[in-house]
Amino acid sequence: MPSLMRPSRRTRNPFVIVGNLFLTLIFIIAICGGGAFVLGKQRFEEPGPSTEDHIVNVPRGGIRDTADLLAREGVIDQPLLFIAGAMIVKSQHELKYGEYKFVKGASLKDVVDTIVEGKVVQHALTIAEGLTSDQIVQRLSENDVLAGNIRDVPREGTLLPETYRFTRGTTREQMIKRMQADHRRVLQEVWERRSPDLPIKTPEQLVTLASIVEKETGKTEERTRVAAVFVNRLRQKMKLQSDPTIIYGLVGGKGSLGRPIMKSEIEQPTPYNTYAIEGLPPGPIANPGRASLEAAANPARTKELYFVADGTGGHAFADTYDQHQKNVQRLRALEQQARGTAAGAAAQPAAAAPAAPATRTR
């Protein structure tokens, strides 16, 4: 009967035994680690726990603070895996603070990518054309996403009305500087493309004229014709006779008079009342938008010197005073018809009724 084989002395060597155990251990760890990595990656990329969109303001701080905040807000439910995932992709030092929107079911990977890439929420604020600087400052002050205070009200006509996008924490002073920079850029572009025979000497005068055009009409198709009326009057040394300049002379940057202009106010001299002064007022009466700046720089080629409301939201234009008077009479007839009876019109206080001078442009 053959004898059993005995292990060789080499296999019984303690170093060999330890080496085999070590290799086996490494193999087991590798298998387990690989499995854990695959499982972790799967959990890292699978949909998260949120059942609705979340907006979270992530402050400055470490990755652990960020993970805890996101867990409290219900965006993630595995803070440790969030931290581990961020560290594996070497993003732990690239998390950017700010206001973020995390969509419903966002995975841990989506959350990390959003913060690393700085995809902060963009807010929008629309500044309407024709607002005064006082009114724009008021709009900025009422916005609760912006931060800080505005030290001084900007000079009239130096802000560009536009829709501005910004992130939470942007200061109001930063918004003012953006509006001023945009205004300077647009004004330079428009000034360089102005009509060569324009009776305007400086970009500042162009802004003043554009602000009057802005306040006189809100209809895009009328801007160049309204601008032409004022440019034609400037050429002929006629007073501009613009109602909005009366109002600005009375209330300044507050904007609205809140009632019709009185006859006594039409005759009341102020530096801005173009019924009383020659040429342009000393400065803008509002902040005009690009369209009004372009209209003032390139007015329509007409001989029109007058315009008056046509009762439909627009204006009727005229080359001569006689044509203008007919347009005024037509407007008065429409107004009387709208009131129903002449008795109803007579019941209105005479002092508050807007006067209609013969050379009135509106």
Task: Give residue for tokens 């019709």.
Answer: 260
What is the C-alpha to C-alpha distance for residues 330 and 282, in angstroms, rounded to an integer?
A: 34
What's the pLDDT at 24?
A: 55
Task: Give residue for tokens 């802005």.
Answer: 214
What is the C-alpha to C-alpha distance for residues 25 and 31, in angstroms, rounded to an integer?
A: 10
Residue 358 near residue 275 (C-beta atoms within 8 A): no
Strand partners, 176: none
Domain boundaries, the chain: 54-116, 123-181, 203-352
Class in CATH terms, 54-116: alpha beta
AA identity, residue 153: V
What's the pLDDT at 222?
A: 96
What is the C-alpha to C-alpha distance for residues 119 and 125, in angstroms, rounded to an integer?
A: 19
Q: List the one residue out of 177, 355, 128, 167 whose CA is nearest residue 261.
A: 355
AA identity, residue 349: P
Residue 100 near residue 114 (C-beta atoms within 8 A): yes
Q: List the one residue out of 136, 181, 183 whose CA is nearest residue 160.
A: 183
Q: Name the pTM for this structure.
A: 0.79
What's the pLDDT at 35?
A: 47
What's the pLDDT at 253?
A: 87
AA identity, residue 262: M
Which 8-state DSSP code applies to residue 165? E
10-residue mean pLDDT series, the chain (362 residues): 54 55 56 50 79 91 90 92 81 82 91 90 96 97 96 97 96 98 98 96 98 94 97 97 96 87 92 96 97 98 94 91 93 83 44 37 51
Phi, psi dihedrals of residue 227, rounded to the nearest 5°: -60, -40
What is the C-alpha to C-alpha distance for residues 94 and 110, in angstroms, rounded to an integer?
A: 15
What is the C-alpha to C-alpha distance for residues 284 and 104, in angstroms, rounded to an integer?
A: 49
Q: Structure tokens of 198?
A: 């324009």
What's the pLDDT at 313?
A: 86
What's the pLDDT at 27?
A: 52
Task: List all residues 6 or more positions away from 30 whose beta carbon is below 8 Å from its beta carbon.
Answer: none
Cβ count near 260 (within 10 Å): 13
Phi, psi dihedrals of residue 17, rounded to the nearest 5°: -60, -45
What is the C-alpha to C-alpha distance for residues 266 and 355, in angstroms, rounded to an integer?
A: 8
What is the C-alpha to C-alpha distance for residues 292 and 206, in angstroms, rounded to an integer?
A: 10
Query: Could you give the 3-state DSSP secondary structure of residue 131?
Result: coil
Residue 225 near residue 317 (C-beta atoms within 8 A): yes
What is the C-alpha to C-alpha distance for residues 231 and 305, in angstroms, rounded to an integer?
A: 9
CA gyration radius for the chain?
A: 36
Cα separations (Å) of 75 from 94, 98, 143, 168, 299? 19, 15, 27, 20, 56
Residue 308, Cβ density class (10 Å: 0-12 exposed, 13-18 middle, ≥19 buried): buried
What's the pLDDT at 358?
A: 34
What is the C-alpha to C-alpha distance for residues 317 and 301, in angstroms, rounded to an integer?
A: 13
